[in-house]
Structure 1
């Protein structure tokens, strides 16, 4: 099964093999959000609006997830989810892109990308709560302003409304997963807002 961060990364490559993210900074935040969602869903950490707390256990086998768990465990104090996105976003994006590049045999990446985008689009349009990872990727891409990579004809405001509907559907179907996704998505949006405020009013 493809991890949530890797599935998100597979939505990124263009036809030329490049990475047409609107902003690598926003994409990195979405990747960390995907890792937080997956780890919270698996009970590996406690995710709330203002803190991320590890719950113990060994490595997960997922590169970005294990990096995140290690950093959170060694931090010595709790930090809010959006702060971890600021700290880890760039490295997480690079790591998951490398994972993505090695996830398919030579020449097969375009097929994997097409499959990933189709899977995420299907999950977003129903919304399909049976595929929580794909649903999470659709929501997190929208929060990270990268949703056009999967659903180019859908306006951003429609994407935001559909993301809210998807989270509500997941909360009804699987409350723990739904709450984790809502908090991860909110953290992505807050991280972007904080960064924009700092740029607008430096110092």
Structure 2
């Protein structure tokens, strides 16, 4: 069964281009578009996409608020990939915290966008640029709140901070002098203790609490 893909973006030409790109793939199906944030719910209800590409800035309702409302329902909702033209977009953090599964710049290559759709549909997460820490590089520092990770053990804190900076499991293993299996165990524990759903949300959590300085 093909992966059903939809897009919410106020640029109609961009939507048409995405539609043609997605439609050219044998395993994907383009099922529709919305051009205002307040049209997103209707699009999802009517088209039933598996993956929804969501622009941050739209009239009617911004893409982040639309994402929060959509994923807050929690039942039979598509996996959302956030699109933006602004690398340091603060709103992206809210979208990740709301449950978005990916972040792409709108000038991403077609190959990257298609790979992101497939990865997110298969349960993965995607950040582009490749280093998640770059999401927050241009955003002003926030007050440091170490109490936000007080529930973590010392080793879990080490893994948390490395994951928040975009390190892979293999890189964390090398830097922390532990095995990749142990890294995976610590990441799972961090997510559970902090009530987070993905490594992307670790990035957002660390930014929100000023822990990336």
Which TM-score applies when normalising by structure 1? 0.29
Higher helix proportion (structure 1 or 2):
1
Q: Give the structure, 1 or 2, with the largest relative contact order (CA under 8 Å, sep 6 or more).
A: 1
Computing the radius of gyration over CA atoms, which structure comes out larger, 1 or 2? 2
